């Protein structure tokens, strides 16, 4: 459900994408394909490659923000705070929280797709793997470089997996579900949810800083650029549906 306050739109062969303050919205569902067409398997293979490549890159880029020590994305502030309190890794906490949020889809009558489930399982594992091999950045030049690299790569990852069109992440589906059930705008719901998770995460020990602000103001424009770069041309017969009944319009940022 697209917030009427949206005012930046990018178009490609797969449909229209909108963003408002970091939100990226898709307004067209995938169409079923015919397996007898010769280009169906190649088209599906590209979409799957983008989906999983994007999710792995998302987890890795989020880990770079952690190593910069200059502030995290809103939800990762919460994940880091919970990790500090529980002794679990950030990736495990991210996966558990994602699964719990997905359960909230049930009363909201949201339907997950392959991308939704993969989002829960892949990003946390990729984050932990990256944290295991990338040390903390030291010195302001290196910390700033790691922060900027993390944000840019996060935007690229967002463009990759959104353009694959396999369904929204669990947290984004929560926002659209609340939008549908309450009648409040997507922007208002998103703002309320993300302020809540940032404040809660900060109180638990999560890192809030200049990186949090920089991420908030830059991820929307970056994702919009990379959506155009990684747009998957529509197959002549449409694309394969992995999970039918996907919401017609959904926020597709993690």
Residue labelled with tokens 């949810």? 193
For the four alpha carbons of 51, 52, 56 and 57, in that order, the dihedral sign comes to negative
| Close Cβ partners of 114 (under 8 Å, ≥ 6 residues apart) | 51, 166, 167, 242, 243
Tokens of 233: 């041309």
The candidate with the shortest Cα–Cα distance to 245, out of 142, 124, 110, 121, is 110
Q: Coil, strand or helix: which one is 251?
A: strand
Q: What is the chain's pLDDT, residue by residue, as a tens digit (254 residues)?
A: 333 333 333 333 333 333 333 444 443 444 444 434 444 788 899 999 999 999 999 999 999 999 999 999 999 999 999 999 999 999 999 999 999 999 999 998 888 999 999 999 999 999 999 999 999 999 999 999 999 999 999 999 999 999 999 988 999 889 888 988 899 888 899 889 999 999 999 999 999 999 999 999 999 999 999 999 999 887 654 443 444 344 344 444 44
How far apart are alpha carbons 141 and 17 in whole angstroms? 35
pLDDT at 71 (0 to 100): 96
């Amino acid at each position: 459900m697209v917030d009427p306050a949206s005012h930046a739109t990018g178009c490609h062969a797969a449909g229209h994408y909108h963003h408002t303050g970091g939100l990226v919205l898709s307004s067209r569902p995938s169409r079923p394909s015919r397996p007898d067409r010769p280009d169906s398997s190649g088209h599906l293979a590209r979409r799957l490659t983008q989906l999983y490549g994007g999710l792995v890159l998302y987890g890795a880029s989020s880990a770079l923000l952690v190593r910069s020590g200059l502030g995290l994305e809103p939800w990762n502030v919460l994940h880091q705070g919970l990790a500090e309190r529980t002794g679990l890794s950030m990736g495990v906490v991210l996966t558990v929280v994602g699964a719990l949020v997905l359960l909230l889809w049930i009363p909201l009558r949201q339907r997950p797709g392959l991308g939704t489930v993969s989002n829960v399982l892949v990003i946390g594992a990729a984050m932990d793997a990256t944290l295991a091999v990338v040390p903390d950045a030291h010195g302001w030049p290196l910390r700033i470089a790691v922060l900027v690299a993390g944000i840019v790569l996060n935007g690229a990852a967002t463009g990759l997996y959104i353009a694959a069109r396999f369904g929204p992440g669990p947290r984004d589906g929560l926002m659209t579900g609340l939008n549908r059930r309450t009648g409040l705008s997507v922007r208002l719901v998103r703002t309320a949810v993300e302020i809540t998770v940032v404040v809660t995460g900060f109180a638990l020990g999560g890192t809030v800083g200049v990186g949090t602000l920089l991420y908030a103001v830059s991820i929307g424009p970056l994702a919009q650029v990379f959506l155009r770069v990684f747009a998957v041309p529509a197959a002549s017969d449409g694309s394969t549906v992995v999970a039918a009944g996907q919401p017609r319009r959904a926020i597709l940022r993690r």
